[in-house]
Structure 1
Amino acid sequence: MTNNFRSILFLLSTFIVTAISSANAQTINNSKFGKGLQFVAADSSFSLKFSTRFQVLYQGSENTVTNNWDDRFLIRRARLKFEGFAYSPKLEYKIELGLSNSDIGNDTPDQTNNADNIILDAVAKWEMLPGLSLYVGQTKLPGNRERVVSSQKMQFVDRSLLNSRFNIDRDAGLQLHHEHTVGNVVLREIGSVSMGEGRDITINNTGGYDYTGRFEILPFGTFAGDGDYVGSDLAREQTPKLALAATYDYNDDATRAQGQLGDFLSQQRDLRTVFVDAMFKYKGFSAMGEYANKKAPDGPVVLTDDTGDVEETFVTGEALNLQAGYLFPTNWEVAGRYTSYDPTKVTGLTPEKQYTLGINKFIVGHSLKVQGDVTLQKRDGRDDNYQFRLQMELAL
């Protein structure tokens, strides 16, 4: 554990103890399980909401080479989050820290690189005009819907293969969010300019910038509780709700294999990514679909060896993810997911299809739940493989 990491944990511990010990002298507003501790200054000059959560995961899969069952327990995610407003309710902020190895970016002890860090989000959001907000700092880019959905609010134990291969993740820069209505139809436009190399990079920009544009349309109006970015229909929408969206992302002279994620490569490429997605909910039934296509116009392969095998490549190709589920009145849910991943052939990466069946029990919404799923993995040139996962989420 580094000295910086110890210092951060000490400061966070001090803050938590101070906040709890002073609770009797403060007004705690709307604090209840799953909603964190909430404070508002006496002069209403700022507010603070502190929350924490973690996921405990068991994961097992058959090893098709040894015919053994490989498994492990791990802390998949452990988060601390601070949010509220500063000076004026029109200026909001959010800070989110990830403490587990998976959050930091590396699950192998004592192996780090200049992209590993604990800062997930550090962003200020200024409402310049009604429906128009400027984001400054580091947060999720307006990419595919599945990635923008919080990891606390997913329908399955984890996101799909489409997301792990092609999402554009978090980045530091500027975002402009606009929302307006035409009758009952809600329209949203989002644009961003960011570094293009992922979260909290400490080196100078070695390539160009990243440019992202997203357009959303909700033809039947807004979802209850921002449900268009929540897995499962916990609100049990009483009228059909639909969200449609498309994103275009251009990463100029990308230096990492997946743009904002992956290994740093020895050369650079322009990456162009298109996402199309949809979310539908009605009376406990939910369905989501996504398509992703990423290209490198100058070719994704950077380096091959003397035999022609690929040593360095950008991850390009296309993927499709379809999932749906039904939430019973008992708050048990059954869900299914199909994902296909087709990388560009020259990269030498392996195409794959996954079929997933999930069962969820929501005890206190997404704040306390148990999720399990089993996945059949079908990869070209390899034996079929089964993976089983069981996870508990606890959020305060």
Structure 2
Amino acid sequence: MKCKVLLIMLWLMAVSLSYAQEANSSKFGKGLFNLKGEDNSWNMKVGLRMQLLGTSTWEEDGKSEANFLTRRARLKFDGFAFSPKLKYKVELGLSNRDQSGASEYTSNAPRYILDAQLRWNFYENFELWFGQGKLPGNRERVISSANLQQVDRSLLNRRFTIDRDFGVQLRHHFNLTDKFVVKEIFSIAQGEGRNVTTGNLGGHQYTGRVELLPFGNFAGKGDYKGADLQREPKPKLAIGVSYDHNNNAVKTRSNQGSYMETDNGFFETNINTLFIDAMFKYRGFSFMAEYSDRTADDAIAKNSDGSLTGDIVQVGNGLNLQTGYLLKKDWEISGRYTNIELDKSITGSNQESQYTLGLSKYIAGHNLKVQTDISHLEVNGGTNELLYRLQVDIHF
């Protein structure tokens, strides 16, 4: 199956090249090649990236484990069609981790498609996005995994993110003053995550987000990139608030997690998630903060007779604080503190705190870098853990 998919993609590339006016290699990190129609009515940038990861874990009870894997391997296509105001983005995941999560609701097939979106700038500063992509949730999740400050995202993201879904997003931005920028996003999505082929089982998911940039836009879209690689000459700050309502949700983590199946169908409950985040950068120093809070009308799934199914909505809150400083020759030291506190009376989970110290070498910015970090996880009433990671990231 995988071979067939790769052959189809290679064939599509060959056809595109045969009909394209240009297929020039660009600067490293700007795509493998760029295609352009003879009449300038379309273009396509083709990119490839991969992350190679090694990890070692030691638990306080003496257990240890080492693991090596291709964490991510992806093909990316983006450009415009017919008009520069109509853009598109397609991203395909090729690694086992990228494709994980197959179930009867995804036709028991690997989930190759990460993003598949059309983005139409239909009037002034208004854009309409349609298709599958990241919802406007927590900042750390919207930051591409290729542009992270540390090896991977935090425990907060793992517990509370709303990730990708299929739907419609309306985006707009305006200036309050010459520098003060305001951005607004409203989204309606299916509410069950990406690549779902059997649905919609519950209701729909509604997400709103507002961002304030009082000192203007970041250089190089740095409000959604880890580390201050642009070495902002003046302070830059972005503050964001998102609120997500998943009506009649059927999964344990809003549109993520497992389905809550019952004896006569699915358990449905309204799930609400709040995100508050900020990004600050100045002369190589960066600081990112995130807070999340999730509630549910009824967090314990039940059968028709009132008996418990065993599925529980992951309700609670989390805090993530992350900072870093870019040294000479693009070495960076970073630190992160994350605290997760689920509702123990419902989930039975213990409070978790994780401390992470990271070191990164940016050889060609985020396009070619080596990152390593060490984390200590403290679990109240549970097993503490030490985690070491080393990762190489290359992005064409």
Please name the residue that 2:377 is paired with. Answer: 377
Does residue 78 of structure 1 match 2:77? no
Larger mean CA deviation between 380-389 and 210-219 belongs to 380-389
Summarize the alignment of residues 325-344 of structure 1 with structure 2, pairs less than 5 Å apart: 325-344=324-343
Kept in 1: contact 2:16–2:35 (CA 8 A): no
1:47 pairs with one of 43, 49, 59: 43
1:120-148, Cα deviation, whole Å (9 max, x unpaired): 00000000112110001111000000000
Give the superposition deviation at 1:45: 0.6
Amino acid at match of 2:337: Y
Q: Percent of counterpart pairs with the same letter?
A: 45
2:186 pairs with one of 181, 185, 191: 191
Does residue 154 of structure 1 match 2:154? no
**For 1:190 and 1:69, how far apart are their aligned partners in 2?**
44
1:60 pairs with one of 41, 56, 62: 56
For structure 2, the residue ranges without an aligned partner over 5 or more in a row are 262-266
CA change 1:30–1:179 in 2 (3 A) is: farther
Does residue 289 of structure 1 match 2:285? no
Please name the residue that 1:357 is paired with. Answer: 357
Q: 3-state DSSP class of the match of 1:277?
A: strand
Summarize the alignment of residues 91-130 of structure 1 with structure 2, pairs less than 5 Å apart: 91-106=86-101, 112-115=103-106, 117-130=111-124
CA change 1:86–1:19 in 2 (3 A) is: closer
Q: Superposition RMSD on alpha carbons, in Å?
A: 1.9
**For 2:236 and 2:290, how far apart are their aligned partners in 1?**
17
Summarize the alignment of residues 201-212 of structure 1 with structure 2, pairs less than 5 Å apart: 201-212=196-207
**For 1:99 and 1:158, how far apart are their aligned partners in 2?**
18
Aligned residues between the structures: 382
Kept in 2: contact 1:310–1:347 (CA 8 A): no
1:299-343, Cα deviation, whole Å (9 max, x unpaired): x12159xxx998211111000000000001210000000000001
Amino acid at match of 2:9: L
Please name the residue that 1:145 is paired with. Answer: 139
Larger mean CA deviation between 192-201 and 256-265 belongs to 256-265
TM-score after normalising by structure 2: 0.93
Q: 3-state DSSP class of the match of 2:238?
A: strand
Q: 3-state DSSP class of the match of 2:5?
A: helix
Please name the residue that 2:393 is paired with. Answer: 393
Larger mean CA deviation between 242-251 and 346-355 belongs to 346-355
Amino acid at match of 2:289: G
Summarize the alignment of residues 236-251 of structure 1 with structure 2, pairs less than 5 Å apart: 236-251=231-246
1:86-106, Cα deviation, whole Å (9 max, x unpaired): 000000000001111111124
**For 1:371 and 1:310, how far apart are their aligned partners in 2?**
42
**For 1:350 and 1:15, how far apart are their aligned partners in 2?**
50
1:224-272, Cα deviation, whole Å (9 max, x unpaired): 0110000000111000000001000000011111122111112121100
Does residue 10 of structure 1 match 2:1? no
CA change 1:137–1:351 in 2 (3 A) is: same
For structure 1, the residue ranges without an aligned partner over 5 or more in a row are none
**For 2:386 and 2:37, how far apart are their aligned partners in 1?**
53
Kept in 1: contact 2:59–2:383 (CA 8 A): no
TM-score after normalising by structure 1: 0.93
